[in-house]
Structure 1
Amino acid sequence: MDTTDGATAIERPRFGVLRQRDFRLLWLGETTSGLGTSITTVALPLIAVVVLKSDTFAVGALAAAVWLPWLVIGLPVGAWVDRMRRRPLMIACDLAAALLYASVPVAAWCDALTYTHLLVVALACGVASVFFSTAYHAFLPAVLDGRDLLEGNAKLQGSEAGTRVLGRGAAGLIAQAFGAVLGLLVDAVTFLISTVCLALLRVREPAPENPVDRTTLRRRIGEGLRFVLHDRYLRPMVVYGAVANLALMGYQAVQIVFLVRTVGANPATVGVLIMIGSLGGVLGALLAGAVGRRFGTARGMLAMQAFTGPFALLLPLTVPGAGLLLFALGGFTVGTGITACNVVLGSFRQTYCPPRLLGRVVATTMVINHSTIPLGSLLGGWLGDAVGLRPTMWIMTGLLAPCWLILALSPMRGRRDLPQGYGPVDGRTADAGLGATEPQATGTAAEECAADVSPR
């Protein structure tokens, strides 16, 4: 039962927001492409390691290339998206990604695949992801109203976590049986399915901002930056996301090399281990709403981060045999906390930010959060060559374990719930508690914390 006005109880319909046709299509398309992306997350570095015999730094550079476009074009893309129709842009990005990923197996079958080709594909798909992700998070409130955003985000995060389980496990099996390059062809097909689902949507987007507005691009970018950097809630959130992503990508850039070359795991085992870690994301998505209702969106999120973060320290302890369970347990628990945080902070941003600034705020938070992803990937690759793979895992997980303290030291530590809306009241943020009914929406302020080699 859900209370909407404090007096009237309304029973939640069975299947919730999945009863809505447009959201169902959006969810289906994102779930399908998420499955392909999860396969690519494992397949892309496996191609570099197993097929092209690349060194550790080259694998880290490959991971960095996927995220580098956020640093270069992320801020202007946010300003552009606020003046564009989001759905046609998302369709164009899906089609571009399908063609790029399909080019890798074609080149491999023609015996023409090189590391440079793989690097260019990663970089170009990163560009497509910048446009898609910014448009997607600004588009979702057109499909769901504020009352349904938390549930919608939880379902999207849950299905994304579920596809990580299936996709990463399947990637290892595909690589073992048919070769890693086939995984990228599967990903290309899933992007085509996502394109069809987007094309079938009936939702009418709000008109973009009037093109006669002559505000300069620099000024528009500045509005988004100031809003994020001056806000007492968004600022610590993006700092947390940036630090967490540095650590996450630092160890994710070398974890497959670590498992293959240090632990001695075969590709199928690697896929299963990373798949088990993704199961934690499913649990996190399921827990986010319940924990928010029981303990509050702010208090519950902080408690989960404090509990789950230290489990990252199990990853470097991984050894052959029964010691593989340490990697599985560490990845599972960290994934639980990260995904729950994504659901809460992401939905918070979608309801908290003024709609006219949403595209720019999305881009600004993603640029700040993503700015450390290529740095973490490069740092992880460099450390892997310089000090060894296991010490690198210790350094990066040692940074990740305590970074929840950034949120604990922010103003949210004294709140039960995060504010629901934004507005000046005596120079301060107008807070509307979310705990009276269900904790209301959050989109993806820290969704960037769940960084993979493939950014969709």
Structure 2
Amino acid sequence: MRLRERMPGLLRERSFRRYWTGQTVSLIGDEISLIAIPLAAVLVLGADAAEMGWLKAAGLLPTLLLSLPLGAWADRQARRRRAMIAADLARAALVLTLPLAYLLDALTLGQLYVIAFGVGALTVLFDVCNATLFVSLVEADRYVPANSLLSGSRSMSWLAGPGAGGLLVQLLTAPFALVADALTYLVSARQLSSIKPVEPEPAPVTKGHFTAGLRWVVKEPTMRALFAWSGTIQFFNFMFHTLFVLYATVELGLSAGVLGAVLGAGAVGGLIGAASSGWLVRRFGIGACVVGGSLGFTVPLLLVPLADGPLPLVVGTLFLAEFLSCVGVMIVDIPAASLQAALIPRAIRSRVMGAYRTLNYGFRPLGALAGGALGTAMGLRPTLWIGTAGAVLAVLWLLPSPVPGIRELPQSAARDTVRT
């Protein structure tokens, strides 16, 4: 009983606890894949910078191509939770084809591209439905603590996932490490199947249904600024992430285990950021945390292309960059996600999230392709400089907008009226 009393209030509620458990386990699996799939490409198939760019882009292109249509589809559905369960089961099946192909000596870069695209498409479906499921489980005045718990899970996944992924790659080889990711999708599906939240009624199909979310985003000044800022960070950050594994293993000489430990240890900063975000929001306000967290997230990554010298110095520099950046990303993500949840009308939530993924996450494949092309033409380190510096400058979208002056969440989450 004492342990239950010490739990955060939301985790005492069975439905949210099961939802949160599934999300947490799945996030850890995603982090294992995030290191295992690129390492399979580099270590098993000998991929170069351009091929790494195409691999990253294959997983991200569904966001650009499918977010709007799947968001419009999700708003017309009464049972989005079932779609999320189906997406989890399908992702598990796709990921399991990779170790099977490796066992049969049939693994190719082409298969990696196809699986990355398929998993990316199913992830888009899961996420646009998840936006509505979240507000079905959480009251508006609890968005910040709920997002803090989910962001804490993401930090925990950064802590456990890369380290576990690096260790599994060393023990089992990269393709077999992906079995762990498939299992986490199954756990997520099981947890989602055990809850029955009351989901919003399907939106009627009206004229402009498909583009309603996009038009609302363009007209709403706060969301417009947030989307421009986020899209810019996504583009430059994925230039960076496309080449990071290649840079760390080939140019800096880190082993898979050391790389996983660096990423995992740096995620301790994410736990600190998630734990402190609620206090920071209360002390400084939502907008100030978004602006300050943006800089806290991006500026430390400038240390990565600076890394040079003896191996202990390189590892220490990368650790410091990851640690500080993870603190910053939690400080910005929690208030930004809560602000978006409060601003978006329920009736078009999935369509707005579809527009969000198209306008912002859609820049990820473009950044990945640009990173691969520039990495081939200019070298890894110069491209990392461009990626990190561009991400820092993204904050310029926020400064002239209403965002810095917002102290508390607007009381608009329960509104069903839509102006597009």
Tell me, yes or no, whether TM beats 0.5.
Answer: yes
Q: 1:123-272 to 2 correspondence within 5 Å?
A: 123-209=117-203, 213-216=204-207, 219-272=208-261
Q: Is the 8 A contact 1:169 1:272 kept in 2?
A: yes
Deviations 1:156-188 (A, max 9, x none): 111111012101011111111221112211100
Would the aligned equivalents of 1:311 and 1:401 in 2 still touch at CA under 8 Å?
no
C-alpha distance in 2 between matches for 1:330 and 1:383: 23
Is 1:99 the counterpart of 2:93 in the alignment? yes
Equivalent pair of 1:138/1:362 in contact (CA under 8 Å): no
1:35-434 matches, within 5 Å, as 35-84=28-77, 85-209=79-203, 213-216=204-207, 219-319=208-308, 320-421=311-412
Q: Residue by residue, what CA displacement relative to the aligned partner does 1:236-294 show, whole Å, maximum 9, x if unpaired?
A: 10001100011111110000000111101111111112223333322222222110001
Deviations 1:15-60 (A, max 9, x none): 2200000001001111111111110000010000000111111111
Distance between the aligned counterparts of 2:143 and 2:331, measured in 1? 15
Deviation, structure 1 residue 207: 2.6
Instruction: Give the Cα separation in 2 of the matches to 1:73 and 1:178.
Output: 34
Q: Which residue identity is paired with 1:73?
A: L
Residue 17 of structure 1 pairs with residue 6 of structure 2? no
Q: TM-score, normalised by structure 1?
A: 0.86
* 1:33 equivalenced with 2:26 (yes/no): yes
Gaps in structure 2 of 5+ consecutive residues: none
Going from structure 1 to structure 2, the CA distance change for 1:203 and 1:419 (only over 3 Å counts) comes to closer
Question: Which amino acid in 2 is paired with 1:391?
Answer: P
Give distance in 1, aligned partners of 2:83 and 2:340.
Answer: 22
Q: Counterpart of 1:402 in 2: which secondary structure?
A: helix
Is the contact between residue 154 and residue 343 of structure 1 (CA under 8 Å) also seen in structure 2? Answer: yes
State the Cα distance separating 1:301 from its structure 2 match: 2.6
Uncovered stretches (5+) of structure 1, i.e. residues with no partner: 1-11, 429-456
Matching residue's letter, 1:252: H
Taking the aligned partners of 2:262 and 2:377, their CA distance within structure 1 comes to: 26
**1:196: Cα distance to partner?**
0.7
Could you tell me how far apart the structure 2 residues matched to 1:300 and 1:241 are? 15
* Gap change, CA 1:308 and 1:126, over 3 Å in 2: closer
Q: Take 2:48 and 2:124, find their aligned partners in 1: how far apart are those partners?
A: 27
Backbone CA RMSD of aligned residues:
1.8
User: Deviation of residue 357 (structure 1)?
Assistant: 1.0
* Preserved CA contact (<8 Å) 2:71 2:354: yes
Tell me the secondary structure at the aligned position of residue 221 of structure 2: coil
TM-score, normalization: structure 2? 0.93
Moved more, 272-281 or 378-387: 272-281
Deviation at 1:395, TM superposition (A): 1.1
Q: Is the 8 A contact 1:298 1:418 kept in 2?
A: no
Q: Which amino acid aligns with 2:140?
A: G
Asked if the contact 2:159–2:268 (Cα under 8 Å) also holds between the matched residues in 1, the reply is yes
Q: Answer with 317-326 or 160-169: which moved more.
A: 317-326
CA distance 1:421–1:214, shift in 2 (3 Å): closer
User: Residues of 2 paired with 1:162 and 1:171: CA distance?
Assistant: 14
CA drift at 1:402: 2.6
Cα distance in structure 2, aligned partners of 1:410 and 1:258:
36
Give CA deviations for 1:85-115 in whole Å, capped at 9, x if unaligned.
2100000000000000001001101111111
Identity %: 33
Count of aligned residue pairs for this structure pair = 409
Matched residues in 1 for 2:15 and 2:413: separation? 28
- Partner letter of residue 72 of structure 1? L
**Greater Cα shift, 257-266 or 200-209:** 200-209
Code of the residue aligned with 1:41 in structure 2: it is: L
- Distance in 2, matches of 1:306 and 1:315, equals 16
What amino acid is aligned across from residue 81 of structure 2 in structure 1?
Answer: R
Moved more, 179-188 or 337-346: 337-346
Q: Secondary structure at the match of 1:410?
A: coil
